[in-house]
Structure 1
Amino acid sequence: MPQIHPKAPKWVVDLNNPPLPKSKNSGIVDPPGFPSSAQSTSKKHNATKNQPRQPQTPEEMDTLKVKKAWEVALAPVKGLPMTAIMMYMSGNTLQIFTIMTVWMAFKNPIMGLLSTNQAFARFESETNRSQLIPVKLLYVAMQLLALAVGIWKINSMGLLPTTRSDWLAWEALREPTEHAVSAL
């Protein structure tokens, strides 16, 4: 223990001599088969201290890579509820906020579809290439689902040509769902 000068401040003395830890003995006996936490942590520490960590085999690494690839494949669907709520709340009129949400609803899935192989390049190896095919297919399906949310939005805004009158000049136009009346 280092010698401390007698004129050292109290905080230096306290820093060099920390208080003893309080015992967690509450007087309650542990149930049979369940040792106290202090005993169990010391046993775990001794057991792990004596055994060095084994390097992972290539099969284990491939399994871990495939699990991480599944997480990446399911990532696009995790943001869909928030995107759908934002689109629903923005309304069906042409406003800057609505246009931006629709733009992002189309841009992100299209960019995801174009970069499918790049998204999974870090997980791919010679031994697990066949295991990543269903993962990539699910990723593409999730991106198409995200794209479908954008299509739903532009359809609800009336921007998709879905009736005959949108394509043929001699057909009667659709009845608008809203009418704007200017105030004085």
Structure 2
Amino acid sequence: MPPNHPPRMPPPPWVIDLKNLPANKPRPVSSSIPDPPGFSAPSGSKKSAKLGPSTSANPSETDDLFLKKAWEIALAPAKAIPMNAIMMYMSGNTLQIFSIMMTVMLFMNPIKALSTVGSTFSRFDNERTHARLWPVKLAFIALQIATIALGIWKVNGMGLLPTTRSDWLAWERERQPMEYSAPAFQAILN
């Protein structure tokens, strides 16, 4: 004997039946709103017939867009330098795990970025943009070096750089006097 189930109720009218969706209606072509850059209308639409053959971007425009995006990537470390400087200032100059980890990360991230400069900008590099990409790479390298300089400033503030004479006492030799002087009462005793 099957279990007694209540009768199945039809779904409420507000539920969308995804299996029986109406066909997509083409949207009306509005000439007041231009298509976004790089958009190509389907071949059967009125807009494509009005435009004629497909319009493709000029290679120089594409190269300019590549260089613009490369400059955005190259200048991104400049936006992080003030934030890192404030974080280094706020972490203090004492040797604590937080300030040590922050300082290590301040060195590690730029070193990793400097080791991958070629692969970072490889997607923007082609025969037309190769010569124009050098200043972008140099700016990226300079900003990474500036971040490393910020790390050196922090390490010096923590007292970990040997910048004073007392840091090198182990290698100092004992001073040899050039002459000796005897007290006056020793001269009388002799």
TM-score under structure 2 length normalisation: 0.64
1:160-175 pair list within 5 angstroms: 160-169=161-170, 170=172
CA radius of gyration, larger in = 2
Partner of 2:32 in structure 1? 44
- Structure 2 unaligned residues grouped into runs of 5+: 1-10, 16-28, 36-46, 174-190
Give per-residue Cα distances to partners, 1:85-119, cap 9 Å, x unaligned.
Answer: 11111111111111110010000011111111111
1:107-122 pair list within 5 angstroms: 107-122=108-123
What is the one-letter code of the residue matched to 1:89? M
Partner of 1:73 in structure 2? 74
What is the one-letter code of the residue matched to 1:124? D
1:77 is paired with a residue whose SS is helix
Give the Cα–Cα distance (whole angstroms) in 2 for the partners of residues 11 and 130 of structure 1: 60
Partner of 2:86 in structure 1? 85
Give per-residue Cα distances to partners, 1:113-141, cap 9 Å, x unaligned.
Answer: 11111110110001110000010000000
TM-score under structure 1 length normalisation: 0.66
- Identity over aligned pairs, percent: 54
1:92-171 pair list within 5 angstroms: 92-169=93-170, 170=172
- Deviation, 1:10, is 6.5
RMSD: 2.6
Moved >4 Å (runs of 4+): 8-12
Give the Cα–Cα distance (whole angstroms) in 2 for the partners of residues 87 and 103 of structure 1: 11
